[in-house]
Amino acid sequence: MAVSKTEEEWRAILSPEQFRVIRQKGTEAPGTGEYNKHYKDGVYTCAACDAPLYKSTTKFDSGCGWPAFFDAIPGAVKRNEDNSHGMKRIEIVCSSCGGHLGHVFKGEGFKTPTDERHCVNSVSLKFK
């Protein structure tokens, strides 16, 4: 189910840092996020709309400074081409609300089933 709110409504329910990252496509500083070194069993949901995004069983330690997952819950994440900052990257957003999560990188050689790293901002996530 798609979640649609005005920017004013998002600003009212998100913290200033969440708004900067989720709605304005920002990035939290590496190594500072609540879920970077978090390894409990459960589900990571979108901090903006609470949609389930990632299972804890797909989280791994990539050493990148942000939570890393090798796969999302099917249909939970959309991929968009991102040519900002002089590079070609793949942005990942919540399928339900369009909130910015981070970026996905392929072919880095991690021993994961997908050879992908979903590099996600902690402020874009909640844990259940």
Active site residues: 119
- Sequential DSSP letters for 21-50: IIIT---PPTT--TTTT---SSEEEETTT-
Residue 39 is encoded by which pair of tokens?
């390894």
Beta bridge partners of 45: 52, 126
Give the Å distances, CA to CA, from 21 to 32, 37, 78, 106.
14, 20, 16, 22
